[in-house]
Structure 1
């Protein structure tokens, strides 16, 4: 087994060209924090980018940052915070959920898996903030897409095309992203005691108001005690995050309390505790139990999500909580992953997609981890793979068996 640890872009090109010459498939990783996501690979060789790290450009006044692919996200977030800025798409950290150390995710992994967090509805995901990339394709060729300004797209936007490719099309070597000012302050309104369907209606009302809610989530009564050291013990907690300048946050909080006065008891969690609460929602801390019990990430119509969960509970032991106003459901199954049941119910309740983000190696090898694509889209994906990696040497089978 060979582990390549390139320290220059040229060495990354050399590693890919060696793999091509030997017809030797390789696993591509940063620091390995998301290695347990996707289908298990059977490769003898690895290209690890952990040594290819560092910021290459940061212009706070221009709201732009470029860094090498192996640069830890935590390191970049610290740099941005020191300048009053942030990745407003709030990339999640899969480490705790996968029983790995936190803070090990890399910038390259952020793009490859298209990370985002509870602010998804307001700010989008990683792909919406990428300005440009430098990539080594599976042909062993270096190419550049995009640049360092927002309006810089001609022809195919390959910088965004690399998002959600899971390292199967090419190896990003340098990534340029748009950064934004961090909010001056934040507070979270917590509505207690709502059922899942009541919470769905309350979140929809809040998100549709002039309150400019940045994030909305619902933690059922059995999940709420698992965040911020049990401070939400007792009842379900419906969370509404407000951000911005302090006077505006205060005024919007008052307005929303009036709007939701009939929904239930409302209290506030502010600043530091609020930030910690949303980090724990983002990183799925309620299900970060050190086990391999199957965890699904389901994206679907917000007002239909609670129906999916209720139907699943009729036939299986399921824990669940809701982010993105209910549009993102995290499910933890006590037994088998129930892939067919989960996906059949998603189709029944308006459509969407489900990704199995945690399970044993044998389960991930046997099931379609990612939502199976319709035939025309699957054919397009194969053609795209053929264009970028015709020999199939980069993360083969990570997303779909045989591709």
Structure 2
């Protein structure tokens, strides 16, 4: 087994072209922060992009940034922060959940996993901000798609196709993202003591108001104390984030106070607020150094409390909610993934997607990590895969087993 570490797009092309000719399978990875997600790699060689780094274009006035795929997100975020800009989709960092330090995730990995964070309700995910890619297909052919400005839609769908493909279609060498001005400040309003159904109602009420809430999450009892360096304490906390200019935030904060007049409210300033939301984003309540199974479930927010309640009657589980309840982080305390039980309940409560994002090697060898596709969608996915990677050499089985 060989490990390739190319430092240029030309070297990536050379490796993939050789692999295509030899029908040799490649595991595609950056710094490995998401290596524990999906089917265990069954490949002959590794193509590691950690040396393919560097920002190749940054035009703050044009709100556009291009970088090599292996460039750490932390590096890009620092560069943008110096110009009061940001990646608005707020990509999460899977490192802590898998026992690694923060800051190892790469910008190519953000696109491959279609990452997002608590601001997804307002800003979308990586696929909503990608402008263009340069990549090498499984055929060993280099190609470019998209452009450098939002209005240029040439090949845009191909760029979006890379989002969430987990390296199974092509090896991205360069990515171009839209960036946006950072908010001047932020504040978090915490509603204390609500149970799950009450929290779901409060989040829906706040998100439906004119307060322009950018993020809404709920952490049940005990889990609340795991974020923000313990600032929330153990009592349940329903979190609402406001971003923008200070006078605007004060006005919108007062709107929420009136809207939630009977609730026990607590306000956190910018520093504490940003720490809280970073911990929610990175699933810090479950970053416990174990391999206890953790699921990422996306479903209709109003159905989430009923689903989790029924799940707890079946198996011991801990959970908290992001995206107004549309994203549920679940830890199976019994040690087994309970995939069939969970996916049956999600389907029963309106449908959604359940992705196993942490588990032991034994569980990953037997449990399908990604939501099984309906036959028609699966046939379409297979045709797309065949057009990019006809010999199935790139991350074979990563998503489908």
Give the TM interval when normalised to the shorter protein.
over 0.9
> Shift in Å at residue 110 of structure 1?
0.5
1:276 and 2:262 matched: no
Structure 2 SS opposite 1:314 = helix
Structure 1 SS opposite 2:145 = strand
* Aligned position for 2:368: 368
* Aligned position for 2:333: 334
Structure 2 SS opposite 1:157 = helix
1:180 and 2:180 matched: yes
* Aligned position for 1:349: 349
Structure 2 SS opposite 1:66 = strand
- CA distance in 1 between counterparts of 2:72 and 2:155 reads 31
Q: What are the Cα deviations for residues 220-244 of structure 1, in whole angstroms up to 9, with x where unaligned?
A: 0121111122222241000000000
Structure 2 SS opposite 1:36 = coil
> Shift in Å at residue 266 of structure 1?
0.1
Structure-1-length-normalised TM-score: 0.98
* Aligned position for 2:33: 33
Q: What are the Cα deviations for residues 281-327 of structure 1, in whole angstroms up to 9, with x where unaligned?
A: 00000000000000000000001001111001001110000000000
Alignment of 1:234-273 (within 5 A): 234-262=234-262, 264-273=263-272
- CA distance in 2 between counterparts of 1:137 and 1:318 reads 41
* Aligned position for 1:296: 295
* Aligned position for 2:143: 143
Structure 1 SS opposite 2:365 = helix
Q: What are the Cα deviations for residues 113-153 of structure 1, in whole angstroms up to 9, with x where unaligned?
A: 00000000000000000000001000000011001010111
Structure 1 SS opposite 2:166 = coil
* Aligned position for 2:321: 322
1:11 and 2:11 matched: yes
- CA distance in 2 between counterparts of 1:129 and 1:35 reads 24
How many residues were matched structurally?
Answer: 400
Q: What are the Cα deviations for residues 189-208 of structure 1, in whole angstroms up to 9, with x where unaligned?
A: 00000000000000000000
Structure 1 SS opposite 2:187 = strand
* Aligned position for 1:312: 311
- CA distance in 2 between counterparts of 1:343 and 1:321 reads 18
* Aligned position for 1:103: 103
Structure 2 SS opposite 1:320 = strand
1:399 and 2:399 matched: yes
Q: Return 130-139 or 36-45, whichever deviates more.
A: 36-45
Runs of 4 or more, structure 1, over 6 Å off, are none
- CA distance in 2 between counterparts of 1:156 and 1:75 reads 26
Evaluate the alpha carbon distance shift between residue 380 and residue 156 of structure 1 in structure 2; reply closer, same or farther with a 3 A threshold. farther
- CA distance in 1 between counterparts of 2:33 and 2:101 reads 7
Structure 1 SS opposite 2:394 = coil
1:161 and 2:161 matched: yes
Structure 1 SS opposite 2:369 = coil
- CA distance in 1 between counterparts of 2:34 and 2:295 reads 15
Structure-2-length-normalised TM-score: 0.99
Evaluate the alpha carbon distance shift between residue 5 and residue 234 of structure 1 in structure 2; reply closer, same or farther with a 3 A threshold. closer
- CA distance in 1 between counterparts of 2:374 and 2:323 reads 25
- CA distance in 1 between counterparts of 2:155 and 2:68 reads 25
> Which runs of 5 or more structure 1 residues have no equivalent in the other structure?
none
> Shift in Å at residue 32 of structure 1?
1.0
* Aligned position for 1:199: 199
- CA distance in 2 between counterparts of 1:76 and 1:233 reads 33
Structure 1 SS opposite 2:318 = strand
Q: What are the Cα deviations for residues 151-178 of structure 1, in whole angstroms up to 9, with x where unaligned?
A: 1113661000100000000001100000
Alignment of 1:75-86 (within 5 A): 75-86=75-86
1:223 and 2:208 matched: no
* Aligned position for 1:387: 387
Structure 2 SS opposite 1:400 = coil
Structure 2 SS opposite 1:362 = helix
- Residues 68 and 173 of structure 2 are in contact (CA less than 8 Å); yes or no, is this contact kept in structure 1? yes
> Which runs of 5 or more structure 2 residues have no equivalent in the other structure?
none
- Residues 38 and 368 of structure 2 are in contact (CA less than 8 Å); yes or no, is this contact kept in structure 1? no
- Residues 132 and 156 of structure 2 are in contact (CA less than 8 Å); yes or no, is this contact kept in structure 1? no
> Shift in Å at residue 261 of structure 1?
1.0
